[in-house]
Chain A
Amino acid sequence: MTRYVLRRLLQSVAVLFGVSVLVFAIMQLVPGDPIQLALGQQADPETYAALRERAGLDDPVVVQYFTWIGGALTGDLGVSFRTGETVLSLIMERVPATLSLAGAAILVALLIAIPLGTISALRPRSPVDWFASLSSQAGLSVPDFWLGILLILLFAGTLGWLPSAGYTPLTEDPVEWARHLILPAITAGVSSGSILTRFVRSSVLESMGQDHVRTARAKGMRARDVLTWHVLRNALVPLVTVGGVQLAYLLSGVVVVEFVFAWPGLGQLAFQAVQSRDYPVLQGAVLLFAVIFLVVNLVVDLAYARLDPRITYRSAR
């Protein structure tokens, strides 16, 4: 197990290195000069040159890369071209908002997926199953943007129950935090929930056809207990993997949802960085996303082993 973890960590470092080179290279290739953008139309040549030099953009690309990655290793991700703040502080400022949203969204997704997926698996081809598959299809097809606006118009506009946009930190006011969280969490959670519903359904179906379930039934065990102890327990183990990946996806910022709800998260930060060609911020954000994905995957794999005793990593040698 330790060996496996070590090997996975080494792999992760290699992947991170690759990601960093790739991100850096792409930013260099994308047209659009950040200094030009910052100065707008009235770029006076002298001012332009002074700003470029200050930003270190006149150094050779390789030097720029090693300056950046060297700093990143010591936790210094550089300074935003746009705001002049350190990239680390910009990112840390947004982590709580994104954590709140991603956590709540995955909760919404599970609250949709587990009941709906289980019921439809228990009654395949019934109206319930038909409804579940239709609604998960709809949930996947509806654009987040549109769903978000509909929710705003209904719950913030017509009914006036919830705020339309914005964010309040949990530490400042837990009630307001929750109220602001509901609509974006539903918006972000619906598509994940739709994916997970299908997953739960097929997983439960598969699990029900297995020998130990039939045995349990044959023994005369109550249907509900069979479901709880034999079917769901096994069926939901794989959910950890898929749910983990969904969480990582949500954590790396649901850009559209953050835009619609003026949610100051990482996705919004990355979006702005792309728009303003803010290399340091975008590189920092992408690196962080890569770390999130790698860590979540690692945790998921390890958790998997705990949940399902059949899986062992010893044979990985």
Chain B
Amino acid sequence: MTRGRRRMAARAGAAALGVALLVGACGGGDEVDVDNPEGDGATDDPGTGGAEAPEGTLVAAISAQPDQFDPHRTQAYASFQVLENVYDTLVVPDAEGEFQPSLATEWTTSEDGLTWTFTLREGVTFHDGSPFDSADVVYSYRRIIDEQLANAYRFASVADIQAPDAQTVVITLSTPTPALLDNIGGFKGMSIIPEGVAETTDLATAAVGTGPFTLEETGAGGVTLARYDGYWGDPATVDGVEFRFVSEPAAALTALRSGDIHWTDNVPPQEIEGLEDDEDVELGVTPSVDYWYLAMNQTRPPFDNRDFRRGVAYGIDRDEVTEAAWFGAATTNQTAIPEQSVWYHEYAPFEHDPDQAGELIEANAAASPQPMGLMVTDEYPETIQAAQVIQAQLAEVGVEIGIEQEAFATWLDRQAAGDYDAFLLGWLGNLDPFGFYHAQHVCEGTSNFQGYCNPEVDELLNQAAAETDQDARKALYDQAAELIVDDVSYLYLYNPDVVQAWAPDLEGYEIRPDKAINFETVRLPE
């Protein structure tokens, strides 16, 4: 549930708007006529709430239960699946990862890059009816910073937040931060809540957002959302959304086939092949911004030796690992940023080469054969499968691997304490290259658990973080990425696909690379 950095990003405003208009134009007339028959189709499902479910409620089965609904506190992907539909941020990324207006309609950056001025949308109301203005933005951001909530680090370079008038917010930075838009709009963890609401409402169980849906009811078995008629954008097409928590994929897929539910993300990669030919199920597969890697503890010999790590990199056949862990539903990559991103840099120096691997390892290992503990967690079963393949591959080049399977809580403990030789894990949902590289690879980075330190990389990453020219910035990140790959700070493996399934005639749903799910423009099958 709480994998590393579970970041979510908002729906593509413009793109979805287009879909909404299109859908509205095509099916508007029908919708009125078949309102009742359509409702019948949805409600004769033996789903929870059955007969009482309002007409036109989309039923989605998600694989885990949200921990809480406070967007500033939760780290769980399951929570963001719900919150995505309830809250808004100042800006949202579109399908290309470019930021578009949401609660802010426009923004300007000062020459020196230190002052950002946002103009806010007018006529927006929160779900409790109160109007939205700049005081709400200041309150939301100050809450994250002052209470040191989980996302406080995103405001590390923020010196001050001011509201000169009701429609304007000015953010002053201590150092230029081109990633600021990603930091405030990359996912719903940076949502805007009404001023003072945390003192009067328990945000863990209730939500007061500006999004297309209101949080109606939360329970142990599911969560219900209702359309918010006062939404500032086009109102949602469905009356509501019911999220059910179904952890067992067989149950979720059966429910989808029999029409109990309309949508699920509970599709293990090994099911993909079978579902492709299934007429009762629409399968959505798209490359994600998720990346998975192996990290070696560079404070321990022989992993502190760059050439040894390079030997390991040559010894791994990424294609085989990807096939085993994801049944092919992933794209191998030797850097972090996936091909589809504008920040992608093609760089792949490590062909699978057992001979070279063996030589490098033999020359640089302290003892032979060199045992290497590889820490994995059952929280992410793909790490276990990948580890088994890597174990077999590295055995051929003289590295003996001991797979250490831990509960995720223990795993994180050991990672934080540096008590490991190597581990496998992934990061999800970065849009800006800052998120892909900075905290993980600068010497003092908060997520640099592998103990990597290269002053040249530090300089490049720090420069890139403050560079405001997009092309110059990309050039800096490309250089840094090459060094990181060459030094094997992380041994990058692959970018997995997002896999979701829905009812064949569900219209208007768009699967997204950042795994954000938004049901605003969805139309139910009849």
A interface with B by C-beta (< 8 Å): 30-34, 36-47, 50-51, 82-85, 90, 93-94, 97, 148-149, 152-153, 156-157, 160, 162-168, 172-173, 175-176, 179-180, 259-265, 268-269, 272, 275-277
B447 within 8 A of A: yes
Provide the bound-state CA to CA distance between A265 and B221, in Å. 9
Contacts of B425 in A (CB 8 A): 41
8 contacts between A and B (CB under 8 A): A37-B409, A40-B5, A40-B6, A42-B439, A149-B248, A164-B260, A262-B221, A262-B248
Partner of B254, one of A82, A94, A157: A157
Provide the bound-state CA to CA distance between A180 and B221, in Å. 12
B127 within 8 A of A: no
7 extra interface residue pairs, beta carbon distance < 8 Å, beyond A84-B204, A157-B254, A166-B221 = A41-B447, A47-B150, A97-B221, A156-B258, A166-B222, A172-B52, A264-B221
Chain B nearest CB: distance from A279 CB in Å? Answer: 11
A259 touching B247, Cβ below 8 Å: yes
B246 touching A166, Cβ below 8 Å: yes
B3 within 8 A of A: yes
The interface residues of chain B, by DSSP majority, are classed as loop
Most central of B49, B50, B147, B149 by chain A CB within 10 Å: B50
B4 within 8 A of A: yes
Contacts of A90 in B (CB 8 A): 220
Contacts of B65 in A (CB 8 A): 272
B247 touching A262, Cβ below 8 Å: yes
Residue of B nearest to A263 (CB): B221
Provide the bound-state CA to CA distance between A215 and B286, in Å. 79
Provide the bound-state CA to CA distance between A149 and B251, in Å. 7
Provide the bound-state CA to CA distance between A47 and B49, in Å. 40
Contacts of A165 in B (CB 8 A): 61, 244, 246, 248, 251-252, 255
Provide the bound-state CA to CA distance between A258 and B60, in Å. 19
The interface residues of chain A, by DSSP majority, are classed as helix
A84 touching B410, Cβ below 8 Å: no
B48 within 8 A of A: yes
Within 8 A of A (CB), among B411-467: 412-413, 415-416, 425, 427, 439, 446-447, 449
Q: Which of B66-74, B316-324, B503-511 contacts A (4 or more CB under 8 A)?
A: B66-74
Contacts of A262 in B (CB 8 A): 61, 221, 244-248, 251
B interface with A by C-beta (< 8 Å): 1-6, 46-52, 61, 65, 67-68, 70, 73, 75, 147-150, 152-153, 202, 204-205, 219-222, 244-248, 250-252, 254-255, 257-258, 260, 379, 407-410, 412-413, 415-416, 425, 427, 439, 446-447, 449
Provide the bound-state CA to CA distance between A288 and B502, in Å. 40
Provide the bound-state CA to CA distance between A47 and B446, in Å. 11
Partner of A37, one of B251, B408, B447: B408
Most central of B252, B379, B410 by chain A CB within 10 Å: B410
Contacts of A162 in B (CB 8 A): 46
Provide the bound-state CA to CA distance between A289 and B430, in Å. 43
Provide the bound-state CA to CA distance between A43 and B148, in Å. 11
Contacts of B205 in A (CB 8 A): 83-85
B48 touching A168, Cβ below 8 Å: yes
Partner of B150, one of A39, A152, A180: A39
Residue of A nearest to B440 (CB): A41
Contacts of A176 in B (CB 8 A): 46, 48-51
